[in-house]
Structure 1
Amino acid sequence: MGTKQENSTVLERETQKLKPPPMYKVILLNDDYTPMEFVVAIVQEYFNKDREAAMQIMLKVHRDGKGICGVYPKDIAQTKVELVLTHARRAGHPLQCVMEEV
């Protein structure tokens, strides 16, 4: 007597609750002006990478035009993008940092 419909509504709600939040890639974009060493320092400072990993990301940005620094929930990704952009501007560099949904 209507229990089938009630059960499907409950299952839909549970599925929506259990769905993980969307994740976002934080990406650095290449330019012809930002020094490579500055990019390495940014990656180490804001993405907690060791020097070797930061160098690999910097080289990927340099060779491929962009490189992923990490994948985070939306609010953390937004904060990291803002921090990187603010740091780069204060240092006088045009480094671009963006986020894309995974």
Structure 2
Amino acid sequence: MPEDKPPTPAPPLVRPRPDDGQGAVVVERQTSKTEPPRMYQVVLLNDDYTPMEFVVMVLQEYFNRDLESATQIMLKIHHEGRGVCGVYSKDVAATKVELVLAAARRGGHPLQCIMEAA
């Protein structure tokens, strides 16, 4: 037969003391500065096979460049081997890289696009 244990007494009730008006409130002000997000540049790399027109189209479609600035960036890529398309937060830059690479694959082009810390 189970052994009967005496009931455990309930803990005593603790009631807050009424404020006598003499209490003081200390407020500590903490200043925390949020750092701006780290920025990344999206870079297109030159190759010998991707048509210049395709590069211009990518710059217009995915980086909102007008024809003149897209052509200037394309020529920089062609002559210097690389060109910065834009500077973005990490997530936006990564998304743009993936979109460009997918468009290049769909078009059958070996165009390479990378992101680097700005």
The count of aligned residue pairs is: 91
Residue 83 of structure 1 pairs with residue 93 of structure 2 = no
Greater helix share, structure number: 1
- How far did 1:41 drift? 0.3
- What corresponds to 1:35 in structure 2? 51
Could you report, residue by residue, the CA deviation over 1:4-48 in whole angstroms, capped at 9, with x for unpaired residues?
A: xx77xx34xx12x2x100000000000000000000000000000
Residue 92 of structure 1 pairs with residue 80 of structure 2 = no
Could you report, residue by residue, the CA deviation over 1:46-90 in whole angstroms, capped at 9, with x for unpaired residues?
A: 000000000000000000000000000010000000000000011
Where do 4+ consecutive residues of structure 1 move more than 3 Å?
Answer: none
Give SS of 1:68's match.
strand
Q: Which runs of 5+ in 2 are unaligned?
A: 1-27
Over alpha carbons, which structure has the higher Rg? 2
Query: Which is bigger in relative contact order (C-alpha 8 A, separation at least 6)?
Result: 1
Give SS of 1:43's match.
helix
RMSD of aligned residue pairs (Cα, Å): 1.1
Task: Specify the code of the residue in structure 1 equivalent to 2:48.
Answer: D
Percentage of pairs with the same residue: 66
Distance 2:80 2:41 in 1: 16
TM-score, structure 1 as length reference? 0.86
- What corresponds to 1:3 in structure 2? none
Residue 25 of structure 1 pairs with residue 48 of structure 2 = no
Distance 1:30 1:88 in 2: 13
TM-score, structure 2 as length reference? 0.74
Give SS of 2:69's match.
helix
